[in-house]
Amino acid sequence: MCTVSWWRRAGQLSLRFNRDEQWGRAVAEQPGLREGNLIWPKDPQGGGTWICVDRRGTVHCVLNHYDAEMPVPPLNPQSRGKLPLLSAEHAGVPISDWLSPEPFPPFHLFRIPLQGELSQVIWDGRCVETRTSHPDLTLWTTSGWNVHEVVVARASLFEKMLEERGLSEETLTAFHFAFDTENPGRWPCMNRGDARTVSYSEIRVNKDEICFEYTPIGRGAQMTRASRTKICQPLIK
């Protein structure tokens, strides 16, 4: 139940990530410069993260693969929150060369660099698929509720906002903050009976600097930026 979008152009990367979680999930620790010289927020329940950025400006993030039909769940499942950190640890190596997906529930793992080829690895519980071709403007979203309806609704909203407002940082941010009052579980900022959007992350990278801005979301239906955290670090070239 998450939404990620990114825009790469002219030596810049801007990426936004809405994390959706169950109401009872422990509150994440705000991002910091942690082990491995990575910037990431920590999930205390699993010990990992859903997103991190390394000092070379590559973002590593994971989304649940809800519509996969895993034949047999792993006996001792591992937290998918380990995957972005493993991807960053092996940043110079293709994901397929080190990944052993069997202990993990189904997922989409993304590795998005400032420039060059990006990677998406899809594990559906049966087989691994690797994709390396995505437009420099990309939206990806998943949902554990009414999957097809939600994915189509968010993609349609994305295209509509781009058409009406034009492509800009402001348009992309507004998309991630969009809330549908008539169907609160449908748009990127969601609030259902069992789950809600718990945080908004925005990562911007240019040739000199990485900035990670993080906004935890309160229990109300609307996002606010009152308690945001922003960390900036020089890019290692």
- Tens digit of pLDDT for each residue in 149-195? 999 999 999 999 999 999 999 999 999 999 999 999 999 999 988 89
The fold for domain 2-140+195-234 equals Penicillin V Acylase; Chain A (3.60.60)
Mean pLDDT score of the chain, rounded to an integer? 93
3 state SS of 207: coil
The pLDDT of residue 47: 93
**Pair of tokens at residue 63:** 């989304």
Query: Which residue, among 176, 162, 15, 165, has the nearest Cα to 5 in the 3D structure?
Result: 15
The pLDDT of residue 221: 46
Task: Decide: 104 and 121 in contact? Cβ < 8 Å.
Answer: no
Q: Which helix (H) or strand (E) holds 162?
A: helix 147-165
Task: Write out the DSSP string of 37-99.
Answer: GEEEEE-TTTSS-SEEEETTS-EEEEEE-TT---SS--SSPPPGGGHHHHHHHTTTS-HHHH-
Task: Decide: 236 and 55 in contact? Cβ < 8 Å.
Answer: yes
- Tens digit of pLDDT for each residue in 207-234? 999 999 999 987 654 555 557 899 999 9
Write down the domain spans for the chain.
Answer: 2-140+195-234
Residue 61 CB coordination number (10 Å):
27
- Tens digit of pLDDT for each residue in 6-25? 999 999 999 999 999 988 88
Taking the CA atoms of 43, 44, 47 and 52 in sequence, report the sign of the dihedral they define: positive
Answer yes or no: pTM beyond 0.75: yes
Q: Which helix (H) or strand (E) holds 8?
A: strand 2-9
Spatial neighbors of 41 by CB under 8 A, at least 6 apart, are: 28, 29, 30, 31, 49, 50, 51, 199, 201, 214
